[in-house]
Amino acid sequence: MKKYRIRVGLDVDDTLYECNSYAVSIINRRHPDEIPLKIEDIKTWGGNGRHDDERIRLFSDPEFVKTQPITEGAQEFVEKLSQIADVFFITAVPACCMSARAERLIRDFPEIPAENIMMGTRKDVISLDIMLDDGAHNISSSRAAYPVLFRKPWNTGLSGLLSVNSYDDFLHFCEMVRNSFSEKFPDLSGGGVLCLVGPSGSSKTEIADGLTRLGGFEKPLTSTTRPRRRSEPADSYRFIGEEQFIREKNEGRYIETTVYSGYHFGTSEKEIAPIVERGNVAVIPIDICGAITLKNLYRQRAMLVFTRRDRAEAIKSIISRDIDLDDKTRRIMSLDFEYRNSEVCDAEVIVGDDVDAAVSKIVAWTRQK
């Protein structure tokens, strides 16, 4: 049977072409006597720091648009994506830059028809199967069935959004959606990775603890920039500073990284691989971004389980936690996004007052072939 050809929309700036990083390099050349700007200094898309007005003005300069570098791997990515999907470029540029943007896209991505280039700021009125964008505001208002956030330093404010770290992860996600009705259930009977995905307050940590008390399940040590809570054992995470985390990420220490509620989390291959090689299951409470990365790496040996808990109970759990008010607010605000992520998981477990029942159900899933 012929597979459905999905419709995929791609943002352009900071998705296919370097935008913020290119602007930062130009600003640093213009101001050689100042402390150089870093891409990590950009915390939101709009103005929020030194030289922001100058950076934003560059985005309306036709010469800037004409000379933006193509992101490494973007052409190969679009070519591969076009083989499984109808691809549309969804781009917002000022009127003075529209011609320059269209000419670049037609020249750099010849496999995409010119009529599939859509320009304008009202991305919220475009209906697609999947949309990839680095703007959290565009993702949160998107009409796409699956709006996917492309993780960048400036879009870490919202948690819970369906998100990816790389082109490869996005391609795999598109394949997951395309094959969602024909994929086999994951097989973890000989070892694998179990990703517990769900909103804050859905008992992911309690379920992970219950599993790791059983034989055959282990929890790899995850690094995080989140402060250790008073009630938390010192070895529950590897607690490090943000500067150290970013340095280790750039050095390739982690096979998956994500940002949740403003804090970075990352897991290294050396923590997961030995567990899987022993034939055990690595249990990781994780957000959907990291889960998709691990699913891409381990394929049928990775299982994504959505932990669903009554919304009111989840909010009560968040409110009672030993975290600051801003963190509680972010977690509660992300709940709607989090619940939507159940659609892309392999299985869903309802978590009530009896966590052991949820643990037993997950154990049965991991042991079936």
pLDDT in tens, 297-353: 898 999 999 999 998 988 998 898 888 888 788 888 888 888 888 888 999 999 988
Alpha-carbon Rg for the chain in angstroms: 21
* Per-residue pLDDT, 1: 33
* CATH 3.40.50.300 boundaries in the chain: 192-367
> With contact defined as beta carbons under 8 Å apart, do 10 and 90 qualify?
yes
- Which residue shows structure tokens 């913020």? 20
Q: What is the side-by-side order of every strand in the sheet holding 263-268? A: 238-239, 223-224, 263-268, 254-260
> With contact defined as beta carbons under 8 Å apart, do 136 and 161 qualify?
yes
Alpha-carbon gap, residue 234 to 226, rounded angstroms: 12
Name beta bridge partners: 282: 193, 218
Torsion of CA 221, 225, 226, 230, to 10 degrees: 70
| Cβ-Cβ contacts under 8 Å for 294 (sequence gap 6 or more) | 193, 195, 255, 256, 267, 272, 284, 286, 302
| CATH architecture classification, 192-367 | 3-Layer(aba) Sandwich (3.40)
- As a whole number, the mean pLDDT across the chain is 89
Of 21-35, 156-170, 240-254, minimum mean pLDDT range: 156-170
Check residue 97 and report its DSSP letter: G
Which of 18-32, 224-238, 255-269 is the most confident on average? 18-32
Helix (H) or strand (E) holding 104: helix 98-108
Write the CA distances from 330 to 145, 195, 315, 323, 365, integer angstroms. 23, 22, 11, 11, 32
* CATH 3.40.50.1000 boundaries in the chain: 6-178
Task: Encode pLDDT of 256-281 as tens digits.
Answer: 888 877 788 888 989 999 999 999 99
* Count of C-beta atoms within a 10 Å radius of residue 362: 24
Instruction: Tell me which of 1.10.3720.10, 3.40.50.300, 3.40.50.1000, 3.40.50.720 is the CATH number of domain 6-178.
Output: 3.40.50.1000
Task: Encode pLDDT of 56-78 as tens digits.
Answer: 899 999 999 999 999 999 999 99
